[in-house]
Chain A
Amino acid sequence: MSSATFDDSVTGKVTGARSEPPRLATAETKVHRLKHPSWWVGGAAVLILIGTFLRLLFTNENMKWDVVGDYLFHGEILHGLWVTIKLTALAMVIGLGLGIVLAIMRLSKNPLFQSVSWLWIWFFRGVPPLVQMVFWFNLATLIPEVRLGIPFTDVVWHTWDMNSLMTSFAAAILGLALTESAYAAEMIRAGIMAVPRGQVEAAAALGIPGRKVMQRIVLPQALRIVIPPIGNDLISMLKFTSLVSVLATPDLLYSAQMIYSRNYQTIPLLIVATLWYLVLTTLFTVVQQSVERKVHHKPLLQVNRLGFNPFRSGKVVP
């Protein structure tokens, strides 16, 4: 019995019956690759759409590219651009700072800290930033003045007028920063939990005090893990600063709106704003990628990026 018949008995196929050797491909054999006609059909459709869009972009007279050019570096627009950058940076810094504190509170053993942090995140993730901004701006109606003194007594050292304190810029920062703090807290918490618990024990066994364990071992690694979602948030924040136009804060969008309310060149000025937002977003993306490359010698852990966008409604994680 040959080995071929042994295989036959297993597979049930009759392979021993071949009388001639099988044909083998040689270097000269011509090979026909599989064609993909649907690629060409789909591609053609997309090309037609792109062409139509480009024609709209460059031949539609209402686009008024010359007006766009005139206003691209207009003083008011550049000032608005600067306000937008300031808003983004301040809201991000305050939001992240609060987020770190909230994340640590959420992970603390103290049930009061845990629940305060939970409530904060629940509230500021639940209320739209636009609603918050308008609310903060009108805070004087609720609390006319701010007093510094000893609570529940008549001792007052200083009083401020809420209306002069809560400028539209301050209200805008509050609305954006508090929303960001809730989202930042959740992602930083995820980052902290991703740092292996054993490292904290090792640090404790070495006699490193708890506060320094957090500062020198846990947070550096947690923040490294959350750099991609933070970069994501930064870009979202940039775009959502445009909400402040409702408070008449002269950011990029509001500056453009003010100009077109005077000269009725609505579309060209919106294009100016659009171009600047795209420039900033591209810049942030480049910076984010280079930072990521620098600190991520190797991705430590993959953190789910979904649900970290502050202004997209996401599932509330209790």
Chain B
Amino acid sequence: MTWPLLKASNIHKAYGDNEVLKGVDLEVHKGEVQCVIGPSGSGKSTLLRCLNRLEVPDQGYVYLDGEPIGFGWVGDDLCELRPAALARQRERMGMVFQSFNLFGHLTALENVTLAPRLVNAEPERQVVARARELLARVGLADKADHRPDQLSGGQQQRVAIARALAMQPEVMLFDEPTSALDPELVGEVLGVMSELARDGMTMVIVTHEMSFAADVSDKVVFMDGGQVVEVGTPDQVFRHAQHARTASFLTRVL
């Protein structure tokens, strides 16, 4: 069996007395799409944010391609990485947020080119060419010069996906990417994500879109109360849930 591309082991996270994650494990293999579902407050988003260390876990480690995130091995010891080194690790994981978080003062194209221009020593022309390609891929070639406030929510989220892809990440993390969208705009974003999944991108998606999750996932992870309750294929989880909590959640949302 191959080593997973992304592995989280025994992740704990508490805010004061509020224990949000109680020892969560996650394994994502290259090319796999995993959807994390569960009631709100179950710790899904916190888990995702622990994966690229936007939240620092109290306990447990995340490994990307066997490399511990936020740490480096020195002999047999783990040393916390300097911010610059952590940034190098983070650029290997693209992240898409619920609230898009586009840079408000930049156009769609500039949003996509900013990180490659600042981080990579790539020729400007190559960066812009790739950014235009990515915008075309998410169906926004004609919006390259628009500012975020001139775009609809669905368009903003697709720019955000293109922006994350511009760093050529090995994994894409999606944190409820359609939860802030008007219902009629959800489809365009899910469409782009399905296509990305078809192209073989490794993806971890926190979502409330159950039919999308059933459609696109290789594995579905059900979380409740800061723990992973059940992991399986969409068929196993959605049709033959092993746990009562999974079944009761699914009857409420389906």
Contacts and interface: CB of A to CB of B under 8 A. Distances in A.
Interface stretch (B69-77, B114-122, B136-144): B114-122
Contacts of A8: none
A207 B119 contact: yes
Nearest to B116: A206
B95 A220 contact: no
A113 to B, nearest CB: 17
Q: How large is the interface on B (under 10, 10 to 19, 20 to 34, 35 or more residues)?
A: 20 to 34
Interface residues of A, number: 23
B155 interface: no
Given A198-B101, A209-B87, A297 B118 contact: no
Contact of A221 (B91, B104, B114): B104
B54 A205 contact: yes
Contact of B105 (A202, A209, A220): A220
Contact of A209 (B52, B83, B114, B160): B83
B54 A297 contact: no
B3 interface: no
Nearest to A298: B149
Contacts of A101: none
A79 interface: no
**Secondary structure of the B side of the interface?**
mixed
Interface in B21-65: 52, 54
B54 A201 contact: yes
A259 to B, nearest CB: 49
B99 A207 contact: no
A227 to B, nearest CB: 13
Contact of B104 (A196, A203, A206): A196
Most chain A CB inside 10 Å of its own CB: which residue of B92, B95, B105, B114: B105
B105 A221 contact: yes
Contacts of B119: 206-209
B149 A206 contact: no
A112 interface: no
Contacts of B100: 198
B164 interface: yes
B84 interface: yes
B115 A208 contact: yes
Contact of B97 (A201, A208, A221): A201
Contacts of B198: none
B147 interface: yes
B12 interface: no
A204 interface: yes
Given A199-B103, A201-B54, A216-B114, A207 B147 contact: no
A74 interface: no
A199 B104 contact: yes
A203 B147 contact: no
Contacts of B114: 206, 208, 216-217
A75 interface: no
B234 interface: no
A300 B104 contact: yes
Contact of A208 (B102, B105, B118): B118
A195 B103 CA distance: 9
A199 B101 contact: yes
29 contacts: A196-B104, A198-B99, A198-B101, A199-B101, A201-B97, A201-B101, A202-B102, A202-B160, A204-B54, A205-B93, A205-B94, A205-B95, A206-B90, A206-B94, A206-B95, A206-B114, A206-B115, A207-B88, A207-B90, A208-B115, A208-B119, A209-B84, A209-B118, A209-B119, A216-B114, A217-B105, A221-B103, A221-B104, A221-B105
Interface of B: 52, 54, 83-84, 87-95, 97, 99-105, 114-115, 118-119, 147, 149, 160, 163-164, 167
Given A206-B90, A207-B115, 13 more contacts: A196-B99, A198-B97, A198-B101, A201-B101, A203-B103, A206-B114, A206-B115, A208-B87, A208-B118, A217-B105, A220-B105, A221-B103, A224-B105
Interface of A: 195-196, 198-199, 201-210, 212, 216-217, 220-221, 224, 297-298, 300
